[in-house]
A = this chain, B = another copy of it.
Amino acid sequence: MGMKSFVEVAVDSHFPLENLPYGVFKPKGGGGPRIGVAIGDYVLDLAAVAAAGLFDGTSLGNTQCFSQSSLNSFLGLGRPAWKEARDMIQRLLSAEEPTLRDNANLRDKSIFPMTDVEMLLPFVIGDYTDFFSSMHHAKNCGTIFRGPENPISPNWFHLPIAYHGRASSIVISGTDIVRPRGQGHPIGNSPPYFGPTKKLDFELEMAAVVGPGNELGKPIDINNAADHIFGLVLMNDWSARDIQAWEYVPLGPFLGKSFGTTISPWVVTLEALEPFACDAPKQEPYPLSYLVEKQPKNYDIPLEVCIKPAGQENSLVVTKSNYKHLYWTLAQQVAHHTINGCNLRPGDLLGTGTISGPEPEALGCLLELTWNGQKPLSLNGSECTFLGDGDEVIFTACCKGNGYNVGFGTCSGRVLPATQ
């Protein structure tokens, strides 16, 4: 049985007292952006709770960190403050605690139905890095783009490969995505294709939100790395495969990715995910010492992708994968990212890369699921190779605990036609 809140929480809710993910919202009735946590189908306004003095006596009392339009100040405070906040919010929302439960005025001011708020980007993203940490994805992409001989480049097993992504085009779940135009591969001696992408894809990813970070020139030791990660969100790293295939040699993906990246509004903390920690995969070859953790850890987070084709009522599941399929761990990503002295800042985003599992139904993008368009999926009888205008893509993730869930809600976006 799960913990009990005085706020009603359905049994299958993603957001019980065990979760308490953070987001930034704006009441539809008026008022600026402020920080909240999800509880059932409600949002607790932490700015209002703080203004009522309920964080007084904790290290958060004088920080004003909850009356901000982004989580960044709170992210910068680090794990001890995050724990204090979680303990206090869990207590205030519990069924036994009268402080908020019995204060009708404060309850009215601080608890909003989710339908009455608009969710915003929860943090300002200074830099967005995207890793490439699923071996199954690396192998499939390598096979498709470069052929079946040595599909995974030799460096892949020695270091968590990553590239810098575009921060400006990261949007919140629910934002429409305009089909990008660009150059695609020429065929034979013809000039390159130019026009709306013909190979629009989703990429099933999660992304870690950076906490305090490090000074330039001072790497983060792998055994302290987890203290620099606040939590995780779902992420759809939309991709135009024809643009990507033509542009990516030798400097990597650029316009094939930078037209839009969608994240889910609720940041689920590592504390909430701790019950779902599991063993990390065995790594062979054994990594260099700066990548060796005392207790390597993954998380068992079941992931699902649905597509709601244009004009249809129902969405269909096209993928079931899991965060635990990742080869490189979060701590290894942080240690590698900073080993050269690169500085991470609060609110930086570290994408996992597409999370594909070993099974054919666990592939994290259409490039893999349809083998670059050669094997169309059947969606309610219509064929799907890549995404069409009007298609909506919906990610969801939910960890199943003993009598409760720790879920991520959804991360969705709909494709709009290209601008002319």
Contacts and interface: CB of A to CB of B under 8 A. Distances in A.
A34 B169 CA distance: 29
Interface in A274-295: 285, 288-290
A253 interface: yes
Contact of A155 (B145, B218, B247): B247
B126 A219 contact: no
Interface string A294-333: 0000000000000000000000000000000000000000
A183 interface: yes
Given A258-B340, A339-B255, A342-B168, A249 B153 contact: yes
- What's the dominant secondary structure at chain A's contact region? loop
B251 A132 contact: yes
A254 B341 contact: no
Interface residues of A, number: 66
Most buried by B among A285, A290, A336, A339: A339
Given A168-B127, A260-B341, A348-B168, A183 B288 contact: yes
B255 A180 contact: no
Interface string A115-138: 000000000001100001000000
Contact of A166 (B164, B192, B194): B164
Interface string A38-76: 000000000000000000000000000000000000000
Given A163-B163, A255-B339, A340-B258, A178 B250 contact: no
Contacts of A336: 255
A360 to B, nearest CB: 23
A272 interface: no
Contacts of A23: none
Contacts of A85: none
Given A168-B127, A219-B181, A252-B253, A155 B246 contact: yes
A143 interface: no
Interface in A62-111: none
A343 B169 contact: yes
A111 to B, nearest CB: 33
A270 to B, nearest CB: 22
Interface in A173-214: 178, 180-183, 186, 191-192, 194
A205 to B, nearest CB: 14
A171 B27 CA distance: 39
A181 B217 CA distance: 10
Contact of A259 (B342, B344, B419): B342
A373 to B, nearest CB: 20
B182 A255 contact: no
Most B C-beta atoms less than 10 A away, residue of A180, A192, A255: A255
A216 interface: yes
A273 interface: no
A195 to B, nearest CB: 10
A14 interface: no
Nearest to A180: B340
Contact of A181 (B145, B159, B339): B339
Nearest to A161: B251
7 contacts: A126-B167, A146-B250, A164-B258, A178-B341, A181-B341, A182-B339, A248-B251
Given A182-B340, A248-B251, A251-B252, 12 more contacts: A126-B167, A159-B192, A161-B251, A164-B258, A169-B343, A180-B339, A192-B288, A194-B290, A217-B419, A240-B340, A250-B252, A252-B252
Among all A-B residue pairs, the 9 with the closest Cβ atoms: A252-B252, A180-B340, A164-B164, A178-B217, A163-B251, A258-B342, A251-B252, A255-B340, A259-B340
